[in-house]
Amino acid sequence: MADLTTKYLGLSLSNPLIIGSSGLTDSVDNIGELERAGAGAVVLKSLFEEQIMMEVDASLREAYQNDMIYSAKSETLDYIDIHIKERTLSAYIELIKEVKNKVMIPVIASVNCISSAEWVSFANQFEEAGADALELNIAILPSDENTGPESIENTYLDIINRVRSQVKIPVSVKISPCFTNLAMMVRKIADTGINGLVLFNRFYTPDFDINNFSEKSSNTFSTPSEAGNVRRWMGIVSPRLKCDLAASTGIHNSEDLIKQLLAGARAVQVVSTIYKNGRDQIQKMLGGLNQWMDEKGYNKIDQFRGKMSQAETSNPAAYERIQFMKYFSEIQ
């Protein structure tokens, strides 16, 4: 039986399989079940500042339509955003406390904010509540043609620096690959001294119905094919950085898990495969990892982590191959 323990963000995990931020990790009961199923750690469902703002808007609409709720001159209504934020934050803090009371595995809080001041305020409170670490879910889609790449990058760095200056618990950041020069951006992030980096965030994708011309969401779940891009960049950046790396998106089975570890990840985050296959998938994936390690003669993950990274592999150029050419394609 191999030793599957690993360290991520300075936290000791019994195995490298972390359940990522999602509806799977939004309640004490669910998280308890995930621990029983063998998860190495959990990232709590993200607290979204945008969601708070949407709740505020919904509350204001309700208050102005229902003459039994507040009056227009009510001070409470005037500051309803503060009240709702406090209520939402209190509920999240309560969740952190309850989960920490119930489970032994590390609990990583997750937050996504719009305004820079809120990141720090939320981070402080999560730390006080007992979160083992904090994952900053920074997601800026570069769709504004008037905002240059440097400005976006500086926003990321500003948030990271502000939060890190205020909290003592380990901090990681989950990013998307949408940067002009991802390698440079990853370097800048790592140079802030951040404890961890999660590659990659997976964005909601809009879709539309061609029959009734309405919008809908698509691709709620990831597919294994999406892991390729994560693998590429994991392999490229893992040898270069001191901070811990976690792989996220498209990791559905033990082979996917093993590949990310080989590319250099310390841990992986999974969500879709648990939704699709149930919590039993955790043991299947860990069982597969264990079996493979036994077959290959590995006792510990450190013995093979990064073995296929760009720095270690016998074909480093493969990581930077982006065009399909006859010699590299199996299809003629």
Partner 1 sequence: MKLSLPEKQNRNMETTQDILKSERQQSWREDLRKSMKAKERTSRERVKMLEQDPHIRNKNHTEVNVGLTEEMAIKEAQRCLDCVDPTCISGCPVNINIPKFIKRIEQGEFLESAKVLKETNALPAVCGRVCPQEVQCEASCFYVQKLKKDPVAIGHLERFAADYERNSGNISVPEVEERNGIKVAIIGSGPAGLAVAGDMIKWGYDVTVFEALHEIGGVLKYGIPEFRLPNEIVDVEIENLRQMGVKFETNFIVGKTSSVDDLRKEGFEAFFVGSGAGLPKFMNIPGENYRRIFSSNEYLTRVNLMNAANPDYDTPVFSGKNVAVIGGGNTAMDSVRTSKRLGADRSMIIYRRSIEEMPARVEEIKHAQEEDVEFMNLNSPVEYFADENGNVNKMRVQKMELGEPDSSGRRRPVPVEGSEYDVEVDTVVVAIGVSPNPLIPASMPELDVTDWGTIKVDKDSMQASIEDIFAGGDIVRGGATVILAMGDGRKAAKGMHEYLKEKVRNK
Enumerate binding residues for partner 1 (CB under 8 A): 56-58, 60-61, 63-64, 68-80, 82-83, 85-86, 89, 115-117, 120-121, 124-125
C-beta of 77: minimal distance to partner 1 in Å? Answer: 7
C-beta of 84: minimal distance to partner 1 in Å? Answer: 10
C-beta of 34: minimal distance to partner 1 in Å? Answer: 28
Identify which of residues 121 and 277 has a Cβ nearer to partner 1 in the complex: 121
List of E strands, 180-287: 196-199, 205-209, 214-218, 244-248, 267-270
Identify which of residues 61 and 321 has a Cβ nearer to partner 1 in the complex: 61
Cα(246)–Cα(266) distance, integer angstroms: 6
C-beta of 86: minimal distance to partner 1 in Å? Answer: 5
C-beta of 83: minimal distance to partner 1 in Å? Answer: 6
C-beta of 168: minimal distance to partner 1 in Å? Answer: 15
C-beta of 55: minimal distance to partner 1 in Å? Answer: 9
Identify which of residues 59 and 253 has a Cβ nearer to partner 1 in the complex: 59
Identify which of residues 39 and 163 has a Cβ nearer to partner 1 in the complex: 163
Q: Which two tokens stand for residue 325?
A: 């050419």
Identify which of residues 129 and 263 has a Cβ nearer to partner 1 in the complex: 129
Q: Is 210 exposed, middle or buried, given 0-12, 13-18 or 19+ CB atoms closer than 10 A?
A: exposed
Residue 117: HSE in the Cβ half-sphere, 13 Å Cα cutoff: 0
State CA 155 to chain mean position distance. 18
Cα-based distances in Å from 152 to 43, 165, 202: 25, 20, 18
Identify which of residues 28 and 56 has a Cβ nearer to partner 1 in the complex: 56
- The SS3 call for residue 137 is strand
Parallel, antiparallel or unpaired: strands 214-218 and 171-175: unpaired
Identify which of residues 58 and 318 has a Cβ nearer to partner 1 in the complex: 58
107-123 burial: b if 16+ Cβ within 10 Å, else e: bbbbbbbeeeebbbebb
How is the chain split among helix, strand and coil, in percent rounded to 5? 45, 15, 35
